[in-house]
């Protein structure tokens, strides 16, 4: 039996790029300009901890500056390397173009196990890493704006923002140097849930298109669909929670580092999440059947599979055993290029990562705009909206001679606050982006997947930006 040769994550991204660009009328020079990473900064810095000097290696890659600032998260993991960071930066460029946020693509990472250090130690490491990037303008509100990623969150973003402010005391827009901050540090309502909420909106939009449902060999709506989630971190948890509570999906399986939990009647995500926080894993959870092999959950029969953890979890070694109708890539690059080909030929529809997990960068854009405007969304118009709604209901009751129910009044009277506006903006973005992909998917005989369609839309917009710059 021939040995399977699995492309790396970066190779997978390049292969998917080449497939799409071969269908476009772009000069070789412009193709290469879009493909290559503009720059990558590698930093090695020392921090004295526990009585000794520890040296850490970090990266910040800038893929494309067709629009500025560039945007992309910072991840903390032992898997971080230059190739991974550059591939993720490329995906950020394509993602931002697809959902029409005015950013180029960037990505950063620190080769570190964040669980190996105490909070105060991690803060010192983070601040020193930020210092190295800030002094080279690789963190700046108008040039390069990081966000959380795997291994980082609100806490780390708050440290970075504070470090920037200390080094740029006269910068009026210092809060906008990073997104994903806590609310009391310039963050925005709905940012923590944003990527998972975006996954929900993406699936909702998919199920608004009967032709697409038929291609996936499904019928009906999201209600009752069996869903398996691989990875119950921030993204997987919120996606599973919203799909179960608001759309009637049955979360029949969840895979985590220590194993998987299966329940064909549906898992209680809140209870499972609480158990994971308390014990560090899914083992011992009473609401389902435990299986030691976490990866095996990917092969369980289901309607919708949501890989929401690491890249490359669906690959040449398991692609033929995947038993689902629809995959939505909540993580970056969970399906390799080889696996993508196998799944597509077997009839599985894949909603690609550059679209499916774009909720985070979309709401990050909203946060950046909020920081630059120095005012929270909804502050100027909410009470006016409420007043107008009250007047409308009173006039309606007068005309019909009957009172409107108190429940309706309560919902209708309430003007839109920041969270409601963020969710509305995110849903509009996800619906619009899907429709742009879908139009290409169905209008061209040479486009065989949503992924290729997404690349064509995205690369076309980036190419237009470069052409406008005179390239």
Distance separating alpha carbons of residues 118 and 221, to the nearest angstrom:
46
- pLDDT value, residue 370: 96
User: In a 10 Å sphere around its CB, with 0-12 CB exposed, 13-18 middle and 19+ buried, how is residue 350 labelled?
Assistant: buried
HSE of 122, CA atoms in CB hemisphere, 13 A: 20
Same fold? 40-185, 217-347: yes
Is residue 378 very low, low, confident or very high in pLDDT (cuts 50, 70, 90)?
confident
Distance separating alpha carbons of residues 116 and 379, to the nearest angstrom:
42
Distance separating alpha carbons of residues 20 and 338, to the nearest angstrom:
15
| Both structure tokens of 438 | 């879908």
Distance separating alpha carbons of residues 316 and 312, to the nearest angstrom:
9
- pLDDT value, residue 12: 86
- At residue 273, the 3 state secondary structure works out as helix
Examine the pLDDT at 47 and tell me if it is beyond 50: yes
In sequence order, what are the beta bridge partners of 61?
Answer: 40, 107
Bond preceding residue 69 cis, omega within 30 of 0 = yes
- CATH class given for the domain over 40-185: alpha beta
Percentage of the residues of the chain whose pLDDT score is greater than 70: 99
Q: What is the pLDDT of residues 99-152, one digit of tens each?
A: 999 999 999 999 999 999 999 999 999 999 999 999 999 999 999 999 999 899
Rounded-to-5 percentages of helix, strand, coil across the chain:
50, 15, 35
What would the 3-class secondary structure string for 370-429 be? HHHHCCCCCCCCHHHHHHHHHHHHHHHHHHHCCCCCHHHHHHHHCCCCHHHHHHHHHHHH
Q: What is the pLDDT of residues 386-431, one digit of tens each?
A: 888 888 888 888 888 888 888 887 878 777 889 999 999 999 999 9
Kindly report the number of other CB atoms within 10 A of residue 383's CB atom: 11
Is residue 77 very low, low, confident or very high in pLDDT (cuts 50, 70, 90)?
very high
| Both structure tokens of 405 | 């129910």
Q: What is the mean pLDDT of residues 246-272?
A: 96
Return the residue matching tokens 């529809």.
Answer: 349
Examine the pLDDT at 31 and tell me if it is beyond 90: yes
| Both structure tokens of 385 | 């909206």
Q: What is the mean pLDDT of residues 231-235?
A: 93
- Contacts of 340-346 with C-beta under 8 Å, sequence gap 24+, read 340/12, 340/16, 340/449, 340/451, 342/316, 343/314, 343/319, 344/448, 344/449, 346/320
- pLDDT value, residue 423: 96
Q: What is the pLDDT of residues 265-295, one digit of tens each?
A: 999 999 999 999 999 999 999 999 999 999 9
Cβ contacts of 210 within 8 Å, gap of 6 or more: none
Examine the pLDDT at 2 and tell me if it is beyond 80: no
**Nearest C-alpha neighbor of 449 from the set 222, 212, 96, 214:** 212
Q: Are strands 74-77 and 39-49 parallel, antiparallel or unpaired?
A: unpaired
User: In a 10 Å sphere around its CB, with 0-12 CB exposed, 13-18 middle and 19+ buried, how is residue 278 labelled?
Assistant: exposed
- At residue 148, the 3 state secondary structure works out as strand
Ranges of each domain in the chain: 40-185, 217-347
- pLDDT value, residue 225: 97
Cβ proximity of 338 and 139 under 8 Å: no
According to the CATH classification, is domain 217-347 in 3.40.50.620?
no
What would the 3-class secondary structure string for 24-52 be? CCCCHHHHHHHHCCCEEEEEEEEEEECCE
User: What backbone phi and psi angles, to 5 degrees, belong to 425?
Assistant: -65, -40
- pLDDT value, residue 3: 54
- At residue 290, the 3 state secondary structure works out as strand
- Is 107 in the active site? yes
Q: What is the pLDDT of residues 156-177, one digit of tens each?
A: 999 999 999 999 999 999 999 9
Of the candidate ranges 45-49, 220-224, 267-271, 391-395, the one whose mean pLDDT is the lowest: 391-395
Examine the pLDDT at 58 and tell me if it is beyond 70: yes
- pLDDT value, residue 1: 39
Is residue 4 very low, low, confident or very high in pLDDT (cuts 50, 70, 90)?
low
Cβ proximity of 62 and 89 under 8 Å: yes
User: What backbone phi and psi angles, to 5 degrees, belong to 30?
Assistant: -70, -40
- pLDDT value, residue 5: 76
- pLDDT value, residue 363: 97
Cβ proximity of 59 and 40 under 8 Å: yes
Examine the pLDDT at 258 and tell me if it is beyond 60: yes
Find the catalytic residue in 19, 95, 107, 370. 107
Q: What separation in angstroms does the CA of 19 have from each of 14, 38, 151, 442, 456?
A: 9, 21, 32, 17, 10
Q: What is the pLDDT of residues 318-356, one digit of tens each?
A: 999 999 999 999 998 899 999 999 999 999 999 999 999
């Amino acid at each position: 039996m021939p040995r399977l040769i699995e492309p790396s994550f970066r190779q997978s991204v390049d292969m998917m790029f080449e497939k799409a660009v071969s269908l476009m009328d772009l000069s070789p020079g412009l193709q290469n300009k879009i493909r290559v990473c503009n720059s990558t900064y590698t930093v090695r810095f020392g921090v004295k901890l526990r009585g000794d000097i520890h040296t850490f290696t970090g990266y910040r890659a800038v893929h494309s500056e067709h629009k500025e600032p560039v945007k992309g998260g910072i991840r903390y993991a032992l898997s971080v390397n230059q190739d991974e960071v550059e591939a993720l930066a490329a995906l950020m460029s394509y993602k931002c173009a697809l959902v029409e946020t005015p950013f180029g693509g960037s990505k950063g990472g620190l080769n570190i196990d964040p669980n190996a250090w105490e909070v105060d130690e991690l803060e010192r490491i983070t601040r020193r890493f930020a210092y190295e990037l800030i002094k080279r303008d690789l963190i700046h509100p108008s040039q390069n704006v990081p966000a959380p990623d795997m291994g980082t969150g609100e806490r780390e973003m708050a440290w970075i923002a504070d470090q920037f402010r200390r080094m740029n005391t006269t910068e009026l827009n210092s809060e906008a140097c990073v997104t994903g901050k806590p609310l009391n540090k310039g963050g925005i309502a709905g940012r923590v849930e944003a990527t998972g909420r975006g996954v929900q909106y993406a699936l909702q939009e998919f199920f608004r298109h009967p032709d697409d449902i038929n291609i996936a060999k499904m019928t009906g709506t999201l209600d009752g669909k069996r869903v398996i989630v691989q990875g119950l971190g921030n993204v997987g948890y919120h996606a599973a929670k919203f799909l179960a509570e608001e759309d009637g999906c049955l979360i029949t399986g969840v895979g985590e580092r220590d194993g998987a939990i299966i329940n064909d009647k549906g898992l209680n995500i809140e209870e499972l999440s609480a158990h994971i926080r308390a014990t560090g894993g899914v083992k011992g959870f009473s609401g389902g059947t435990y299986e030691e092999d976490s990866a095996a959950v990917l092969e369980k029969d289901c309607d919708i599979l949501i890989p929401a953890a690491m890249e490359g979890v669906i690959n040449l070694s398991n692609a033929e055993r995947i038993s689902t109708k629809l995959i939505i890539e909540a993580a970056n690059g969970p399906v390799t290029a080889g696996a993508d080909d196998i799944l597509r030929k077997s009839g599985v529809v894949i909603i690609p990562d550059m679209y499916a997990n774009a909720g985070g960068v979309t709401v990050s854009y909203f946060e950046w705009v909020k920081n630059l405007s120095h005012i929270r969304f909804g502050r100027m118009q909410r009470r006016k909206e409420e007043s107008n709604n009250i007047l409308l209901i009173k006039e309606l009751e007068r005309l019909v001679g009957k009172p409107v129910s108190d429940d309706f009044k309560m919902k209708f009277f309430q003007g839109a606050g920041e969270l409601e506006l963020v969710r509305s903006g995110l849903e509009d973005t996800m619906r619009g982006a899907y429709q742009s992909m879908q139009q290409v998917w169905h209008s061209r005989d040479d486009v065989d997947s949503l992924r290729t369609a997404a690349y064509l839309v995205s690369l076309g917009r980036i190419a237009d930006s470069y052409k406008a710059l005179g390239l």
